[in-house]
Amino acid sequence: MKRLGWFLAALSLTGGLARADSLLINGAGATFPFPLYSKWFSEYNKLHPELKFNYQSIGSGGGVKQITEKTIDFGASDSPMNDEELKKAPGVMHIPTVLGAVAVVYNGAPEGVKLTPEALSDIFLGKITRWNDPKLQAIAGQPKLPDVAITVAHRSDGSGTTAVFTDYLGKVSPAWKSGVGVGKSVKWPVGLGGKGNEGVTGTVKSTPGAIGYVELAYARQNKLSMAALKNADGSFILPSIETTSEAAAGVAMPPDFRVSITDAKGKNAYPISSFTYVLIYKEQPDAAKGKAIGQFLWWAVHDGQKLAGPLDYAPLPKPVVAKVEAALRTVTVAGKSVIASN
Amino acid sequence: MASGADTPRHAHLGDRAFAAGITLLGGAVLLVVGIIVVACARLSAPAFAKLGFFRFLTGSDWNPVEDSFGALPFIYGTLVTSAIAIVVAMPVAIGLALFLTEMSPSRVRRFVSFFVEILAAIPSVVFGLWGLMVLVPILRDVVEPALQHRLGFLPLFQGAPMGIGFLPAGIVLAIMILPTIASVTIEVLRTMPAALREGALALGATRWEAIGAVVLPYARRGIMGAVILGLARALGETMAVTMLIGNQPEIHGSLFAAGYSLPSVIANEFAEASGAVHTGALAGLALVLFGVTLMLSASARLLVRLSARRLVAA
């Protein structure tokens, strides 16, 4: 391993020497959009061979920390920075890049399970403990549920996925809001903790009667059964790229994009969705880098969106893209907009 | 030190440089330990300031949303899984070592030793995966229901058999520390003078009596050392335990229940800890883990010393 490390270090060094004129942009943060960002970096690099990206997927918290300390050129986070964090990093902007959905997945019950917000929160609060509970069976159009104990599976590591999921439960259930609360790590009333999406996926797959929550991409790739959730308009919606984008379309967007879109209105809106953000400084300190970042993000929210769907990310709806355009025009280097040429 | 007759008053420059170098290297270990402790203590200061050290140590609530943190469920989980590991691994490892040094032909010994070493080289994440895919279903569907059926009156075997919890974590830990204990014990038994064993046999002792009366008492100290090494590995093991223990910060008497361990929660929550108190509480757990490890190995050493003294007195 050590030798490999030296080899890679030497390789990257020679790579740096060979292209002395190239520009390296450093970023760090969320793990959730990492597969898409890698794709973006490599595609954008084909268009602009002089640009290189180095992205460390260390987690949203790390992304916020490092952009605050200005050790990177851009950060990435699944949940928006709160007011306290923003106070420590004045001038940081949130640029939404794509949307993600959190799927409720299960094992041991027939396909086509439907859940109301009350049923979902009661399961995760430990009030409903069996699949054939009358409260679950009474939901209209519910398939016949088995007489099996429910095992709740949740994330054990601090995670943006947990933040989105608990944000939703907090909105729809007063008991959840007062008893458990909202956050990247919470005190779970019941269940088994798995590390990462893969840990929860593993628990759900191997435990008959299990129910858990994972990112949509994981649910699809592992062919897990997904529950349809009753949204704010009263329709039962399965998570998909379209229903996730739909959730973002119906939300009143504040100018700084810091908004939760869980429990969104809209006939086809999937209720547990969220934006993921890139964090940059509005006033870019380095002329060349600032320009490159601004133009890369411009590309990402236009041409880059076409790459999102195949990787199970939901593209930004048109009205949001228009607002991101306006925001990117305000990014400046020494008082001049980085997008001036467009 | 300079009083010795053969020590020259002025040692050669090379010797002195060597001595200084060695001292420096020896000191470096202490320095590193010191730096780690100081760093953890500084990082954990906000948590202790808010919660108080004693309340942190004895509290059993772990709620990052409300900044309420207690270390007890994690200490409990770490001790319980390590105890299962030692109870399961120690007899097997010592039996294995006795078999290999006292009974088996040398061809078998080389073959089995090779596999023991292989076992030590398997990464812990592989043990965790194996536990999740193979051990957990067996425990859930076969072993735990059977235990409950026969011994369900004991608090140890109550509650729904989920397959995940203290029991699988402890069993996998046992497998992981088995090679450590076995290979050190083998080395200890090998250093035993052949004359002692032969003397016992010559006096008419059976092989079993020779092992019980001569071999084991002679090697007791070394075997205790081997167990301490195994225990240290069990206490600090992170990945395999995280995958199997269920990660629920609760204290249950039943081995079927889900729990949490000190290293697991640090690995799980540190990267995305929210705020200085949460980060501080996790650093505090690191200090607690350090303290637990220190205390257990100190008391094990004490035990060895006491038993050795009794042996001499007898």
- What is the pLDDT at residue A57? 87
Does one domain contain both A86 and A171?
no
CA distances (Å), origin B108, targets B102, B104, B177, B179, B211? 12, 6, 22, 17, 20
Average pLDDT (A275-290) is 94
Percent of chain B topping pLDDT 70: 94
User: Per-residue pLDDT for A287 more than 80?
Assistant: yes
Percent of chain B with pLDDT over 90: 61
Smallest Cβ–Cβ distance between A157 and the set B163, B260, B268 belongs to B268
Q: How far apart are the first and last CA of chain A?
A: 47
Does B47 lie at the interface with A, CB-CB under 8 angstroms? no
pLDDT-based confidence at A15, cuts 50/70/90? very low
**Range A21-29 average pLDDT:** 90
Residue B110: what pLDDT?
A: 87
Position B103 scores a pLDDT of 85
Q: How high is the pLDDT of residue B300?
A: 82
Helix (H, G, I), strand (E, B) or coil at A181: coil
More reliable by pLDDT, B271 or A127 = A127
The neighbour count for residue B45, using CB atoms within 10 Å, is 14
Q: What is the pLDDT of residue B308?
A: 67
* CATH fold label, B53-313: MetI-like fold (1.10.3720)
pLDDT tops 80 at residue A186: yes
Predicted pLDDT at B113:
87
> Rounded to a whole number, what is the distance in Å from the CA of A223 to chain B's nearest CA?
18
Report if residue A190 sits inside a domain.
yes
Count of domains forming chain A: 2
pLDDT score for A7: 54
Same domain, A121 and A176: yes
| d(C-alpha B259, C-alpha A197), whole Å | 20
Compute the mean pLDDT over every residue in chain B, rounded to the nearest whole number: 89
- Mark yes or no for CB contact A188/B64 under 8 Å: no
Q: What radius of gyration, in Å, describes the C-alpha atoms of chain B?
A: 24
Is any Cβ of chain B less than 8 angstroms from the Cβ of A45?
A: no
Asked whether the predicted pLDDT for residue B191 surpasses 50, the reply is yes
Same domain, A246 and A107: yes
- What interface predicted TM-score (ipTM) does this complex get? 0.78
Better-predicted residue by pLDDT, A197 or A113: A113
Residues A302 and A156 in one domain: no
In three-state secondary structure terms, A67 is helix
In a domain, A282, yes or no: yes
What CATH number is associated with residue A146?
3.40.190.10
Q: Using CA of residue A262, residue A263, residue A266, residue A267, what is the dihedral sign? A: positive
Task: Provide the pLDDT for residue B2.
Answer: 45
Confidence category of residue B311, pLDDT binned at 50, 70, 90 = low
CA distance A184 to chain B (A): 7
**Same-domain check for residues A129 and A218:** yes
- Chains A and B form CB pairs within 8 A to the count of 93
- Going by pLDDT thresholds of 50, 70 and 90, the confidence category of residue A9 is low
Residue B3 above 50 pLDDT? no
By the 10 Å C-beta count (0-12 exposed, 13-18 middle, 19+ buried), A106 is classed as buried
A10 inside domain: yes
Asked whether residue A207 is assigned to any structural domain, the reply reads yes
Q: Are strands A151-155 and A192-194 parallel, antiparallel or unpaired?
A: parallel
A306 assigned to some structural domain: yes
CB-CB neighbours of A85 under 10 Å: 18
Structure tokens at B89: 């691994």
Residues of A in contact with B274 (CB under 8 A): 61, 158, 183-185
Residues within 8 A of B (CB atoms), A 187-246 only: 187-188, 191-195, 199, 202-203, 206-207
A194 lies in which domain range?
101-250+259-273
Q: Give mean pLDDT, residues B152-162.
A: 86
Q: Provide the residue ranges of all domains of chain B, joining segments of one domain with +.
A: 53-313
Q: Are residues A106 and A210 in the same domain?
A: yes
Cβ atoms of A238 and A113 within 8 Å: the answer is: no
Q: How confident is the model at residue B10 (pLDDT cuts 50, 70, 90)?
A: low
Tell me if A193 sits within 8 A of A155, measured CB to CB: yes
Place A8 in a pLDDT band, splitting at 50, 70 and 90: low
Structure confidence at residue A16 (pLDDT):
45
Contact A170, A231 (CB under 8 A): no
- List strands edge to edge, sheet with A283-284: A283-284, A332-333, A336-337
pLDDT of A282 strictly over 50: yes
Please give the Cα distance from B91 to B17 (Å, whole number).
47
Residue B7 has pLDDT above 60, yes or no: no
Do B136 and A206 make contact, defined as CB atoms within 8 angstroms? yes
Question: With an 8 Å Cβ cutoff, are A183 and B132 in contact?
Answer: no
DSSP letter (8 states) at residue A150: -
Kindly state whether residues A53 and A77 are assigned to the same domain.
yes
Partner-chain residue, chosen from A185, A191, A206, that has the shortest CB–CB distance to B272: A185
pLDDT score, position A342:
45
Residues A144 and A88 in one domain: no
Contacts of A59 in chain B (CB under 8 A): 271-272
A113 falls in which pLDDT band (50, 70, 90)?
A: very high
Hey, are the CB atoms on A186 and B63 less than 8 Å from each other?
A: yes
Evaluate whether residue A16 is within a structural domain. yes
With cut-offs at 50, 70 and 90, classify the pLDDT of residue B1: very low
Residues A282 and A235 occupy one common structural domain:
no
pLDDT for A250 beyond 90? no
The shares of helix, strand and coil residues in chain A, as percent rounded to the nearest 5, are 40, 20, 40
pLDDT at position B143 = 92
Nearest C-alpha neighbor of B143 from the set B165, B173, B128, B174: B165
Q: What is the pLDDT of residues A208-246, one digit of tens each?
A: 999 999 999 889 989 999 999 999 999 999 999 999 999
- pLDDT band at residue A169 under the 50/70/90 scheme: very high
Confidence band for A18, pLDDT divided at 50, 70 and 90: very low
Contact of A276 with A58, CB cutoff 8 Å: no
Q: What is the mean pLDDT of chain A?
A: 90
Q: How far apart are CA A240 and CA B210, in angstroms?
A: 72
How large is the average pLDDT for residues A29-37?
A: 90
Same domain, A122 and A263: yes
Q: Mean pLDDT over residues B195-213, rounded?
A: 89
- Subunit contact A181:B66, Cβ cutoff 8 A: yes
- Residue B4's pLDDT is 46
Question: How confident is the model at residue A3, as a pLDDT?
Answer: 55
**Domain match, A175 and A282 both:** no
In this structure, chain B runs to a length of 314
Report how far apart, in Å, the C-alpha atoms of B65 and of each of A46, A166, A212, A267 are. Answer: 44, 11, 20, 33
Model confidence at A51: pLDDT above 90: yes
What's the pLDDT tens digit per position in B29-85? 999 999 999 999 999 999 999 999 999 999 999 999 889 999 999 999 999 999 999
Task: Answer with the residue of higher pLDDT: A193 or B106.
Answer: A193
Window 236-295 of B, Cβ < 8 Å to A = 242-243, 246-249, 258, 260, 264, 267-274, 278
Tell whether A120 and A233 lie within a shared domain. yes
Q: Is residue A342 part of a domain?
A: no
User: What mean pLDDT comes out for the span B97-123?
Assistant: 89
Average pLDDT of span B8-35:
87
